[in-house]
């Protein structure tokens, strides 16, 4: 199985290199902006969001190999834990929206209607098929509707894609780096540490242990570790990194409080974490004490007049790397004629350092001078 996976991934890398070169040559300027961005600043860092997820199902080995071939600088890994303490590359805590878990294990959902990764062993998870993300209903269960979230992407229920571990993906990326004499980086996210703590699992320690095993121990090793959980990032910075003898770069992902992205333990009770403080100048200064960068949602970078927001200005003042998410062709703001123009504005006018995108090759082409 692993041998076949590596053969497929190798073929995808070659195809992506050829396709990417053709794409770069043929990209047309947007109607309102017929000039390319002049790269007078350092080249922007392109982070493949869940791999080349605009072309293949997210967080599959094929998607990661395609992202590599498309020229991504970093490839993202969302990391969750299984019942038997393996680290799985998967975006959600649940399996509903991207796998056939309801068919294979129909009796394993919780009372809320969801199938949780943490309730399955790795062997069980390996039996599942992965497909293009489905829309969720507006019900409390969030049950998948059967229609694709992005209908013009890879056809749903097509192909033979499987889940894989964090270690398996690092092995693939390092093998590709060796065979292509490149140094494509990794960008793992510790997913919902609070959720894993509630289950008695120290996911952050497990992630750091795996990173150390694969030689990612210092800032020069082309790795960023990200999380929405500020308390956990502080723990990683002040407790776990010294414990493991590591000095890797940390990134604070930024959310709005009403997203209910994180929980924290207050007076022995878990409650929704408030992000309001991060949008103040002092808050950004505090982030700079434990993190090397921030990962905001794109709208957080601009004010109502599409000028740089106070948050963005503060992050730049405190020398934080700015890596916003997520740049998708389908989500191009109405203000812009094209995805290319959106990227050019973000890079040239806002001065970001990098960004997460589902479309690595398209993004590279949009920001390449000609």
Catalytic residue positions, numbered? 49, 91
* Structural tokens at position 32: 């309102």
Phi and psi at 289, nearest 5°, equal: -75, -25
Phi and psi at 66, nearest 5°, equal: -65, -40
Q: How far apart are CA 82 and CA 184, in angstroms?
A: 27
Other CB atoms within 10 A of residue 19 CB: 16
What is the per-residue DSSP string for 160-195? -B---BHHHHHHHHHHHHHHHT---EEEEEE--HHH
* Structural tokens at position 53: 């997820």
DSSP state, residue 140: T
Classify 217 in phi/psi space as left (phi over 0), alpha (psi -120 to 50) or beta: alpha
Kindly list the distances between the CA atom of residue 60 and the CA atoms of 5, 9, 42, 66, 190, in Å, as whole numbers in the listed order: 10, 10, 31, 10, 18
Query: Which residues, including other chains, have CB under 8 Å from residue 312's CB and lie 6 or more apart?
Result: 296, 300, 301, 302, 322, 350
Query: Which residues, including other chains, have CB under 8 Å from residue 322's CB and lie 6 or more apart?
Result: 293, 294, 296, 301, 312, 315, 316, 351, 352, 353, 354
Contact by Cβ (8 Å): 85, 120: no
Helices (H) then strands (E): counts for the chain: 13, 13
Bridge partners of 81, per DSSP, are 87
Phi and psi at 108, nearest 5°, equal: -105, 10
């Amino acid at each position: 199985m692993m041998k076949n996976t590596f053969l497929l991934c190798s073929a995808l890398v070659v195809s992506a290199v050829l396709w990417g070169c053709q794409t770069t040559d043929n990209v047309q300027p947007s109607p309102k902006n017929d000039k390319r961005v002049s790269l007078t600043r350092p080249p922007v860092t392109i982070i493949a969001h869940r791999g080349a997820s605009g072309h293949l199902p997210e967080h599959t080995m094929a998607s990661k190999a395609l992202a590599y071939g498309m020229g991504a600088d970093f490839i993202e890994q969302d990391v969750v834990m299984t019942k038997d303490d393996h680290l799985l590359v998967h975006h959600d805590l649940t399996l509903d929206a991207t796998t056939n878990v309801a068919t294979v294990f129909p009796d394993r959902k919780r009372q809320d209607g969801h199938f949780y990764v943490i309730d399955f062993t790795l062997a069980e998870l390996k039996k599942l098929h992965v497909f293009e993300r489905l829309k969720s209903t507006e019900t409390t269960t969030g049950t998948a509707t059967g229609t694709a979230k992005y209908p013009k992407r890879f056809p749903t229920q097509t192909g033979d894609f499987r889940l894989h571990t964090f270690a398996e993906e690092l092995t693939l990326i390092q093998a590709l780096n060796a065979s292509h004499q490149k140094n494509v980086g990794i960008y793992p996210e510790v997913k919902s540490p609070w959720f894993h703590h509630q289950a008695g699992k120290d996911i952050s320690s497990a992630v750091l242990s795996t990173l150390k095993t694969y030689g990612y121990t210092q800032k020069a090793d082309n790795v960023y570790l990200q999380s929405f959980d500020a308390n956990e990032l502080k723990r990683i910075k002040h407790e776990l990194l010294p414990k493991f003898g590591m000095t890797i770069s940390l990134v604070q992902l930024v959310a709005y409080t009403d997203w209910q992205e994180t929980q924290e333990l207050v007076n022995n009770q878990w409650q929704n974490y408030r992000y309001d403080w991060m949008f103040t100048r002092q808050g950004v200064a505090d982030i700079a004490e434990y993190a090397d960068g921030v990962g905001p949602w794109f709208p957080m970078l601009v004010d109502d007049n599409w000028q740089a927001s106070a948050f963005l200005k503060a992050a730049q003042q405190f020398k934080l790397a700015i890596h916003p998410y997520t740049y998708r062709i389908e989500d191009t703001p109405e203000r812009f004629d094209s995805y290319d123009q959106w990227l050019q504005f973000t890079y040239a006018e806002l001065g970001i350092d990098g960004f997460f995108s589902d479309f690595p090759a398209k993004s590279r082409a949009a920001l390449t001078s000609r």
